[in-house]
C-alpha cells in the first residue's frame, strides 16, 4: 500500500520559521513516520520496522527547508461539498498561517466550490487577508460558499495557470478529494509546479486512516440536543416515541456517538447493521415490548440505515453519491401502522436536525482541531508536497496520499467492535433485530 508523498522538487529555501518569538521550532524530516498499527503483540515474531511490511505515514509539521519562496507565491482555497462545522475555521487558519508565519500576501478564496475554478460561471475569487477572516469562525457554513458536482479538470487547471496560482488548498470529502487527485495528475501531466493539498471534510467521520474529521465533534454534540428534545417529547405523552434521523449515509458514527453521549436511547439503527421491521425478532416487536415496559422509547437512525427495506437507494446527488431514501418517514409510517392495527395509542414525534447540525459554528474542540489541520496543511504546501492531504492518526498529524485515501473505501462502524458493543450495552437493544 503506497504511502509515499509526492514532492515538486528539492527544497532549498531556508524556512522563515526558524524562530517564532523565543520558541525554537522543531522541524520534521521525511524519515519520521507514524505507524499504522499502534498495538504490539509481544508473542508474535519481531518485525523489521524498516521493511515495507510495516505500514506507516509521513509525519506532518514544518520543514527546515521549503520549496516555495513565500513572498513570491499565490495561494488559493476552495471549499466543496455539503456544509460542515469548521469550514470557516479552516479558512481562517490557512490565511493566518500563510500570512503571518510564511509572509504569503496573495491569498484567494474560490467561490462555490469547484465552480469557482471554472471561468464560465463568473464567480470572482475573493482576496483573503487576516482582517477579513478574523471573525468568521463565529459563523456557520463557509464564507466562500460550496457546491457539489464534477467540473472540467482542464479548465480548472487553466484558471490556476491564468492566476499564477502556486498552491491550492482543497477542503472537501471523498468526491472532492478525488477531484483534487485529478487536478494533481493534470498539473503533473503539463509539467507544472503547483501544489495541491487536501484537508478532508466529512461530517460522517468516514474517511479511512483518520482518527476523526473536523466538524464531527460539533455534529454529534448538536445531535445530542435533538435526541434530548426527542426524549422530552416521548416522556411527555402516553406511549410516546421520539424518532431522530441523523446524518450517516454509509457510516453510523454520528448516530452511535450521539446515542452514547446522551445515554437515554433505546434503539440505534445504522447502515452497517442490518435489521428487519417484521417478525418476532424485528424492530416493531422489539419496540412494542419496550413501549409496554417503560411507556416510551427513543429511536436514533442514521440516514443510510435500512435502505434495503425501501428498495435500495434513490437518485445520486450532483457528486455522484448514492442518495438514500428517507428512512425517517419510512420508519414513522411503519410504526404508526403497526400500532394502529393493534389499536394501541401512540404519540410519535419525528425530528430531523440534519441541516441545522451542518450549518452551526464549530465548537471549541473543533476550533482547536481545525487550527492544527490548517497549520500542517500550510507547512506541507510550502515544502512542495502535492497530491496529499493532512489528517490525524493515533493523535499525530500525518501526510497521506490522496489516492490512498480515496481508493480504500469509507471507514465504517465495526459491528463486532468496541463502539457498537458500547452502543448495545447503553441502549439494551437486541444485538440482532431480525
Note the Cα 392 to chain centre separation in Å.
12
Whole-number percent of the chain with pLDDT over 70: 94
pLDDT class for 44, splitting at 50, 70, 90? confident
* pLDDT in the model for residue 55: 87
For helices 216-235 and 253-262, the axis angle rounded to 10 degrees is 60
Across 41-45, 64-68, 77-81, 328-332, least confident range: 41-45
Separation between Cα atoms, residue 384 and residue 426, nearest integer Å = 48
Give 136's DSSP letter: G
The mean per-residue pLDDT over the stretch 402-417 comes to 92
pLDDT confidence bin for 47, thresholds 50/70/90 = low
| 40 or 264: which leads in pLDDT | 264
- Express each pLDDT in 10-24 by its tens digit: 999 999 997 766 677
Active site residues: 204
CB 148 within 8 A of CB 177: no
Say what percent of the chain tops pLDDT 90: 85
The pLDDT value given to residue 74: 98
CA dist 424 and 429 (Å) reads 6
SS (H, E, C) 140-206: CCCCCCCCCCCCCHHHHHHHHHHCCCCEEEEEECHHHHHHHHHHHHHHHHCCCCCEEEEEECCCCCC
Ordered domains of the chain (ranges, CATH): 6-42+50-213+360-407 (3.40.50.450), 216-358+415-427 (3.40.50.460)
- Which H or E run includes 251? none
Q: Distance between CA 200 and CA 112 in Å, rounded?
A: 17
Q: Which helix (H) or strand (E) holds 365?
A: helix 364-382
Tally of CA atoms within 13 A in the half-sphere of 310 that contains its CB: 19
Amino acid at each position: 500500500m503506497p504511502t509515499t508523498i509526492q514532492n515538486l522538487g528539492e527544497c532549498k529555501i531556508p524556512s522563515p520559521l526558524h524562530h517564532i518569538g523565543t520558541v525554537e521550532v522543531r522541524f520534521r524530516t521525511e524519515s519520521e513516520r507514524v505507524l499504522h498499527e499502534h498495538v504490539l503483540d509481544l508473542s508474535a515474531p519481531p518485525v523489521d520496522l524498516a521493511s515495507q511490511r510495516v505500514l506507516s505515514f509521513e509525519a506532518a509539521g514544518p520543514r527546515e527547508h521549503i520549496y516555495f519562496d513565500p513572498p513570491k507565491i499565490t495561494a488559493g482555497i476552495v471549499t466543496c461539498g455539503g456544509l460542515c462545522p469548521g469550514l470557516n475555521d479552516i479558512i481562517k487558519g490557512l490565511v493566518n498561517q500563510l500570512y503571518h508565519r510564511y509572509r504569503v500576501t496573495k491569498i484567494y478564496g474560490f467561490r462555490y466550490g469547484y465552480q469557482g475554478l471554472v471561468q464560465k460561471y463568473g464567480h470572482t475569487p475573493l482576496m483573503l487577508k487576516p482582517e477579513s477572516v478574523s471573525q468568521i469562525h463565529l459563523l456557520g457554513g463557509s464564507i466562500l460558499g460550496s457546491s457539489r458536482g464534477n467540473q472540467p479538470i482542464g479548465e480548472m487547471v487553466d484558471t490556476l495557470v491564468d492566476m499564477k496560482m502556486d498552491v491550492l488548498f482543497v477542503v472537501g470529502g471523498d468526491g472532492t478529494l478525488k477531484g483534487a487527485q485529478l487536478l494533481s495528475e493534470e498539473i503533473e501531466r503539463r509539467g507544472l509546479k503547483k501544489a495541491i493539498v487536501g484537508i478532508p471534510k466529512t461530517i460522517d467521520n468516514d474517511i479511512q486512516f483518520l482518527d476523526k474529521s473536523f466538524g464531527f465533534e460539533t455534529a454529534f454534540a448538536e445531535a445530542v440536543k435533538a435526541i434530548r428534545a426527542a426524549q422530552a417529547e416521548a416522556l411527555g405523552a402516553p406511549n410516546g416515541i421520539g424518532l431522530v434521523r441523523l446524518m450517516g449515509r454509509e457510516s453510523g458514527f454520528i448516530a452511535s456517538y450521539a446515542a452514547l453521549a446522551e445515554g437515554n436511547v433505546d434503539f440505534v439503527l445504522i447502515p452497517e447493521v442490518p435489521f428487519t421491521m417484521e417478525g418476532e425478532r424485528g424492530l416493531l416487536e422489539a419496540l412494542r415490548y419496550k413501549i409496554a415496559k417503560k411507556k416510551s422509547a427513543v429511536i436514533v437512525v442514521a440516514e443510510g440505515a435500512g435502505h434495503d427495506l425501501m428498495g435500495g437507494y434513490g437518485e445520486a446527488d450532483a457528486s455522484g453519491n448514492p442518495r438514500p431514501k428517507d428512512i425517517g418517514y419510512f420508519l414513522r409510517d411503519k410504526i404508526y401502522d403497526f400500532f394502529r392495527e393493534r389499536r394501541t395509542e401512540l404519540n410519535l414525534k419525528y425530528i430531523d436536525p440534519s441541516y441545522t447540525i451542518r450549518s452551526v459554528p464549530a465548537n471549541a474542540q473543533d476550533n482547536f482541531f481545525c487550527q492544527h489541520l490548517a497549520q500542517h496543511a500550510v507547512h506541507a504546501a510550502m515544502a512542495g508536497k502535492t497530491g496529499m492531504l493532512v489528517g490525524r492518526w493515533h493523535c499525530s498529524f500525518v501526510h497521506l496520499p490522496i489516492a490512498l485515501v480515496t481508493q480504500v473505501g469509507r471507514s465504517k462502524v465495526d459491528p463486532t467492535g468496541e463502539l457498537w458493543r458500547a452502543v448495545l450495552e447503553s441502549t439494551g437493544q437486541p444485538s440482532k433485530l431480525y
